Structure 1
Amino acid sequence: MSPAPVPPHGADRPEKRRRLRELLDRAGHERVLLTTGPTLAWYLDGARVDVGAGAAPVLAVVADGRGDVVHCAVNEVDRLLAEELPDDVDVRPVPWAVPPALAAARDLPREDDLALELRAARAGLLPGERVRYADLGRACAEVLTRALHEAEPAQSERALAGRVGGLLLAEGIDPLVVLVAGQDRVLLRHPVPGPGPLGRRAMVVVCGRRHGLVANLTRWVAFDDPDPATAEATRAVLEVEADALAACRPSRTLAEVLEDVARAYPRHGFDAQEWTRHHQGGPTGYAGRDPRATPDAVDTVVPGQAFAWNPTAPGVKVEDTLVLAPGADPQVLTCDPAWPTVTVRGLARPAELRR
């Protein structure tokens, strides 16, 4: 695999600052305090803003789209200046015992006040982000290809998860989520790895983060021929995904798109309530789902946005990270040419790996 690309600091920054300034002008604010991992990583052009998956950011930014001030834990300053932060910020050290957000001015509007607007601002991917995202998606896909080509029925779920996690880390990718279900647990929708063997059929789910962006994908491996019912359900769930992609048209709300996804299940032979038994995914980018599509989600589809839908039914699931653009075929980012595929409405989709 190729080495992880270095964030091209400055490549997308002017447009990100312009988007933020426009957002603040519409809201009637001069500045905003940015505190969450997804927004900070976006605004700082892919900087690693924490020191562990799930950890709180080690910095906060008072941002106005012109001259940004980074309040950062004193023990992180040297690393961040040398390796992460763009040159156009003013860094102010904060004692390690003080949360960076508390060190900033307290009369500022907070991210929570502008959460919907900030998600919209980071939704349309910029050129530098597209390059980094494609590199990340390909690396994650190649990791699963390698790990599942090496997998054996007697291997434990935990051993396979460890192998996948190690390969991701070696590529500079944070394994935010690694789920594994062996044959006895494939009916579980979120199978945290257990001690049992893979058996004759297994599923692996990965959410991998690099330079702030998160790639999401699911792959299946089978050590014998699947039964006809499973094969038919797999084909049907791929059709549900195709309907979800077709429903992602600019300016539609996520709630409207989800309504189409829900209607797709019975149209392709599933129970009409199947969509209620697991979340269906939604936009992705600087968070695994940014946000998750729900019946109440008012976020709208933005041109050039990334999505990871994950339609699922008992024993079957499909998931990839794709970028959608009006008038163009979806670009599958989590793609490895070595993985077997089937064609669904003109788009190559992952098939089960037969071993």
Structure 2
Amino acid sequence: MNPSTILADTSTAAPGSVLPDTSAADRAAKRARVLDILAAAGRDSVLLTSQSAVSWYLDGSRVGISLAGDPIAAVLVTAGGDHVATFNNEAERLAAEELPADVTLHEVPWHGSLTDVSAWFGAGVAPAAEAELADALRLARRSLLPGELHRYEALCRDAAEALTEVLTHVTPRTTERDIAASLAGHLVAAGADPLVLLANGASRVAFRHPLPTDAVLGRRAMAVVCARRDGMIANVTRWVRFDGGTPAELDAEARITAVEADIFDATVPGATVAEVLAEIRAAYDRHGFGPDQWRLHHQGGPAGYAGRDPRATDAVTDTVVLNQPFTWNPSGPGVKIEDTVLLEAGGIRPLSLDPHWPATTVNGILRPQTLQL
């Protein structure tokens, strides 16, 4: 072992460390999955470099500094063990607070390269780049393990509760930026990164990705949260209004919920993501939105360690499996519904519900309604 190589020490992990009791078992399962991928590809190792793959493989370790930047760590998976490379100004924190106990940590100069494996590991391996095995790695993280699911459920609840806390206190004079600022504060206080914060008032309700402005909410509003913690991302949308709603709005809300119910019915083990997307197209037409509504906004897809992992298109032939999370987000003019859910043996179970938010049961599944203030 060279002087720049140290063993991660988690014995003094700080309070709030992301290492759950199930970490060892989950880590072993993930390592076995990756070794199977390597064997099938005829490779001896792989270098994981993306936020999704690194945080998944390290069981939720925080490997980002800038939300807009690349991870500050890379993982070399070999038959002989797991090796994490990070910059010298990051190594002490990672070793003390973030890394599983079963990895070897290598320091790279802050001006060096994480992907130059020969410089920090040696010439003993010729790893596959993550991109070469990206599809197989994505499939390997589809089904959540016990520790992952426990953390994800907690994150989704926290995201939903943040929306409840903020939106129950808004008024027609609240601005969109006020909502975003309050949501950011609640999420950061819960230990989550606010990756996406959207808000629109009545004057901007036509925009489906409404970055917040100084506009006031007026008579109705939408807020969207995409929050990351332990490497996983919860996606939630909520609506609020200050009157009874117009007949057209109430009708559209009921119809978009019916579209979502059809999507949930189509999200079954063995179906492909492309097949679910085909059902989404049919559902829009069936419920009065027309055959082309799906073209006006993406429809969501599998969730977990990416906002969508991947976003649903006709080219995605990944099959649906049990214990896989999804965030479908059907939308129409002035309406949208979105929660992070889990496919279990008994069907779809929403993860991002807050019992304090108004809800109704649709096809046996509790779904959020517009909050009327």
Q: Which category describes the TM-score, using the shorter chain as reference length?
A: over 0.9
CA–CA separation in structure 2 for the residues paired with 1:347 and 1:65: 44
Partner of 1:44: 58
CA–CA separation in structure 1 for the residues paired with 2:50 and 2:18: 22
TM-score between both structures, scaled by the size of structure 2: 0.92
CA distance 1:183–1:250, shift in 2 (3 Å): same
Of 98, 107, 110, 1:84 maps to 98
Residues matched between the structures, number: 352
1:229 matched to 2:248? The reply is yes
Partner of 2:9: none
1:135 matched to 2:167? The reply is no
More deviation, 65-74/333-342: 65-74
CA–CA separation in structure 2 for the residues paired with 1:199 and 1:102: 54
CA–CA separation in structure 2 for the residues paired with 1:71 and 1:124: 27
CA–CA separation in structure 2 for the residues paired with 1:139 and 1:169: 11
CA shift, 1:159, in A, is: 1.2
CA shift, 1:10, in A, is: 2.0
Partner of 2:40: 26
CA shift, 1:350, in A, is: 0.4
Q: Provide the secondary structure at the position in 1 that maps to 2:90.
A: helix
- Counterpart amino acid of residue 73 in structure 2: L
Of 161, 169, 173, 1:154 maps to 173
Partner of 1:188: 207
Q: Provide the secondary structure at the position in 2 that maps to 1:192.
A: coil
Task: Give the superposed CA RMSD.
Answer: 1.4
CA shift, 1:66, in A, is: 5.0
Task: Return the index of the structure with the highest Cα Rg.
Answer: 2
1:176 matched to 2:195? The reply is yes
1:59 matched to 2:73? The reply is yes
Q: Is the 8 A contact 2:349 2:365 kept in 1?
A: no
- Counterpart amino acid of residue 202 in structure 2: Q
Partner of 2:28: 14
CA–CA separation in structure 2 for the residues paired with 1:11 and 1:57: 24
Q: Provide the secondary structure at the position in 1 that maps to 2:279.
A: helix
Of 315, 321, 341, 1:322 maps to 341
Partner of 2:3: none
CA–CA separation in structure 2 for the residues paired with 1:313 and 1:5: 41
- Counterpart amino acid of residue 365 in structure 2: L
Partner of 2:114: 100
Q: Provide the secondary structure at the position in 2 that maps to 1:150.
A: coil
CA offsets, 1:148-180, max 9 Å, x none? 011111111011100101110010010000000
Q: Provide the secondary structure at the position in 2 that maps to 1:178.
A: strand
- Counterpart amino acid of residue 306 in structure 2: A
CA–CA separation in structure 1 for the residues paired with 2:193 and 2:151: 14
Of 207, 211, 217, 1:198 maps to 217
CA offsets, 1:311-339, max 9 Å, x none? 0001000000000023x132211010000
Q: Is the 8 A contact 1:207 1:216 kept in 2?
A: yes
CA–CA separation in structure 2 for the residues paired with 1:344 and 1:230: 18
CA–CA separation in structure 2 for the residues paired with 1:314 and 1:200: 16
CA shift, 1:251, in A, is: 2.5
Q: Is the 8 A contact 1:10 1:45 kept in 2?
A: no
CA–CA separation in structure 2 for the residues paired with 1:6 and 1:69: 19
1:346 matched to 2:364? The reply is yes
Q: Is the 8 A contact 1:247 1:257 kept in 2?
A: yes
Q: Provide the secondary structure at the position in 1 that maps to 2:198.
A: strand
Describe how 1:207-286 pairs up with structure 2 within 5 A: 207-286=226-305
* Structure 2 gap ranges (5+): 1-14
- Counterpart amino acid of residue 300 in structure 2: G
CA–CA separation in structure 2 for the residues paired with 1:244 and 1:115: 26
CA–CA separation in structure 1 for the residues paired with 2:17 and 2:362: 32
Q: Provide the secondary structure at the position in 1 that maps to 2:164.
A: helix
Partner of 2:327: 308
CA shift, 1:107, in A, is: 3.6
CA–CA separation in structure 2 for the residues paired with 1:66 and 1:228: 65
TM-score between both structures, scaled by the size of structure 1: 0.96
CA offsets, 1:51-72, max 9 Å, x none? 1212110011111365011111
